[in-house]
Chains A and B, each alone.
Chain A
Amino acid sequence: MKINAASMKMWSRIGSRATFGLAALEIAKTHDNLMVMTADTSTSAGLDRYRKTFPEKFLDVGIAEQNMMGIAAGFASEGLDVFTTTFSPFQTMRCCEQIKVNLGYMGHKVCMVGLASGIVLGTLGYSHCSIEDVSVMRSIPGITVISPADSGETVKATLAALEHSESVYIRLTGGMSNPIVHKDDYDFQIGKAIELREGHDVTLIAAGTMVYESLEAAKLLEEENISASVVNMHTIKPIDVEAIERACRNTKCIVTVEEHNIVGGLGSAVAEYKATIPGAPPQMILGLPDKFGKSGEYRDLLEQYQLTAPQIAKRVLSRLKELT
């Protein structure tokens, strides 16, 4: 499929969910073995056109996620390339044990797409928010976890997941009008982080929506004469240890930024490796607090949890002052 500045712009406008639907539509044109499944969320997954165009490569199991993951594994065991799609809490936790046994333990490969993860559905309450999914998926052996930084990266991750050797969880964050991080085509490899900006004072390691916020924060830090590197850690498992080592070598503070509980997510993954590096710099773990707070509008919640670019910059600045 055509990946260029124009398509990146269009995908950004429609957001990651609709973009996934377009990617599936393209893949199905050339991929006989494809099977895309949903649990009564085809519209939310951007699959309206897909299900009409490729009914033989589409299966809706109704509101039954455990059954979806079992059927998906059955398909995979017979050689089909399977995507499953539903809202993130139901894609990961409702059917968690099916994922463990069928995908992890037995190794049947399924690409799971968790829609509207993080707190973008804040107005619907924490039943529909997903602040635990990375932590849960990361602890299951044999599952790769990807959190695309923008809609274009959702396409990249979808294509890469299809070719990947093991099951993949693709965590989609943000809403429509998803800010663009990558303005044109680039090289995406699972497990290989992308340094978007060089810097020698501090490294911001981010995933999902927080990559854009971190880039903006880095610009604000520059105004304060702080040189910040920004790393798009799109693959949270397996974590890119070389990128962590580089960050530890080149800068004196590591900041992880994620739209996820500060327990068990990107910050934890980075810390787990960083802890093995002698003399490694300290780390700030920025993310959602380990609690279920009041629900609300997405941007309001990001403000409340100090995850907007100016707030990130301010927190980093304050920490750097403490360290000097």
Chain B
Amino acid sequence: MGVCDMGNREEMITKIEAMAGRMRRNVLDMALAAGASSSHFGGGLSIVEITATLFGEVMNYDPGNPEWSERDRFILSKGHGCVGYYTALVEAGFVTKEDLLTFEKTGSDLIGHPVMNRAKAIEFSNGSLGMGLSLGIGVALAAKRRQSEHKVYVVMGDGECNEGSVWEAAMAAPNFKLDNLVAILDRNKFQQTGSNAEIMSVGDLADKWRSFGWEVVEVDGHNVGELYDAFVNEGVTQQPLAIVAHTIKGKGFSFSENNNDWHHHVLSKTQYDAALEELNNSLAG
């Protein structure tokens, strides 16, 4: 949506931060509504500022015409992070709050991993890790072929980078000179059963992606200004862009931050109340 001037930039950052606050509140409502079926709480909260910045400012789309051919495409390759996606779709006008409260219920459009639904701006079904970037390459190549200017944003996890298929795609995108493709690597440093360092370390992700031929930017993944600058960075090469976003798993609530018990966890009403109070205090502060 274009580069902000300095005055507007402060306003934009305030706007996106407020949006992220509302999204976290909706994440709490979803997690509570999910009840015993539980939700991927931690990995959804780590991407909230990423999806807020994309859907709140960076991406072009039309809620009145979800299949507009020139829309920017968003792919949540780490599909389990969907609470951080569906809540952005509410803000973008594709999904209602009522839809959110059907999360993981029988027959719902909003299941624990995204299920393709173009009317609701869910481009693909995700959940099996390591597949989203390849889909993004296909979409980005198709855009080049028809000389469309839209971009493709793929959000991936650091744990997801254990998958070999990620590296097949990582190798291909620079070879195809896909400067319309952006991979956002949610570096929250945890995966399902432990820290990334102890389960299967991906090491220096920025180095790895750079060595594969990507233009790489590292940011604080909860700093809207840094994220925004990375997204609007036009770059000087024809290479695809990888943004290594350093994040905190479970970001926003003291009980869940960097606590991997909250990878997939039931949220009790007591925890919900405490979390809501903490969120309200932080927004008021």
Residues of A at the B interface (CB closer than 8 Å) are 56, 59, 61-62, 64, 66-67, 69-80, 97-98, 101-102, 105-106
Chain A residues with Cβ below 8 Å from B141 are 59, 71, 74-75
Q: Looking at the complex, which one of A56, A64, A79, A102 makes contact with B135 (CB distance below 8 Å)?
A: A102
Q: Mark B128-144, 1 if CB is under 8 A from A, else 0.
A: 10110111111111110
Chain A residues with Cβ below 8 Å from B165 are 66-67, 70, 98
Query: Are B171 and A72 closer than 8 Å at their CB atoms?
Result: no
Chain B residues with Cβ below 8 Å from A66 are 130-131, 134, 164-165, 168
Which of chain B's residues has its CB closest to A95's CB?
Answer: B165
A78 with B134, Cβ < 8 A, contacts A62-B171, A67-B172 known: no
Chain B residues with Cβ below 8 Å from A74 are 134-142
Q: Mark B26-64, 1 if CB is under 8 A from A, else 0.
A: 000000000000000000000000000000000000000
Which of chain B's residues has its CB closest to A37's CB?
Answer: B138
Chain B residues with Cβ below 8 Å from A97 are 128, 131
| A70 CA to B124 CA, complexed, in Å | 11
Chain B residues with Cβ below 8 Å from A79 are 142
Q: Mark B193-237, 1 if CB is under 8 A from A, else 0.
A: 000000000000000000000000000000000000000000000
Query: Are A71 and B145 closer than 8 Å at their CB atoms?
Result: no
The smallest C-beta distance from B175 to any residue of chain A, in angstroms, reads: 8
Chain A residues with Cβ below 8 Å from B140 are 74
Which of chain A's residues has its CB closest to B138's CB?
Answer: A74
B134-159 CB contacts (< 8 Å) to partner A: 134-143, 145-146
Chain A residues with Cβ below 8 Å from B72 are none
Query: Are A77 and B124 closer than 8 Å at their CB atoms?
Result: yes
Query: Are A105 and B139 closer than 8 Å at their CB atoms?
Result: no
Query: Are B134 and A67 closer than 8 Å at their CB atoms?
Result: yes
B125 within 8 A of A: yes
**For chain B, what secondary structure do more than half of its interface residues adopt (helix, strand, loop), or is it mixed?**
helix
| A76 CA to B134 CA, complexed, in Å | 12
The smallest C-beta distance from A286 to any residue of chain B, in angstroms, reads: 37
A62 with B123, Cβ < 8 A, contacts A70-B165, A71-B138, A72-B138 known: no
Query: Are A69 and B134 closer than 8 Å at their CB atoms?
Result: yes
Which of chain B's residues has its CB closest to A76's CB?
Answer: B138
A70 with B142, Cβ < 8 A, contacts A77-B124, A101-B125 known: no
| A4 CA to B159 CA, complexed, in Å | 56
Query: Are B128 and A80 closer than 8 Å at their CB atoms?
Result: no
Query: Are A71 and B124 closer than 8 Å at their CB atoms?
Result: no
Query: Are A64 and B138 closer than 8 Å at their CB atoms?
Result: no
Which of chain B's residues has its CB closest to A56's CB?
Answer: B145
Q: Looking at the complex, which one of B131, B136, B164 makes contact with A98 (CB distance below 8 Å)?
A: B131
B3 within 8 A of A: no
Query: Are A70 and B138 closer than 8 Å at their CB atoms?
Result: yes
Q: Looking at the complex, which one of A62, A70, A75 makes contact with B131 (CB distance below 8 Å)?
A: A70
The smallest C-beta distance from A227 to any residue of chain B, in angstroms, reads: 51
B116 within 8 A of A: yes
B169 within 8 A of A: yes
Q: Looking at the complex, which one of B130, B133, B138, B172 makes contact with A73 (CB distance below 8 Å)?
A: B138
Which of chain B's residues has its CB closest to A72's CB?
Answer: B138
Chain B residues with Cβ below 8 Å from A56 are 145
Chain A residues with Cβ below 8 Å from B137 are 67, 70-71, 74
Query: Are A70 and B128 closer than 8 Å at their CB atoms?
Result: no
| A37 CA to B1 CA, complexed, in Å | 34
Chain A residues with Cβ below 8 Å from B175 are 62
Chain B residues with Cβ below 8 Å from A72 are 138
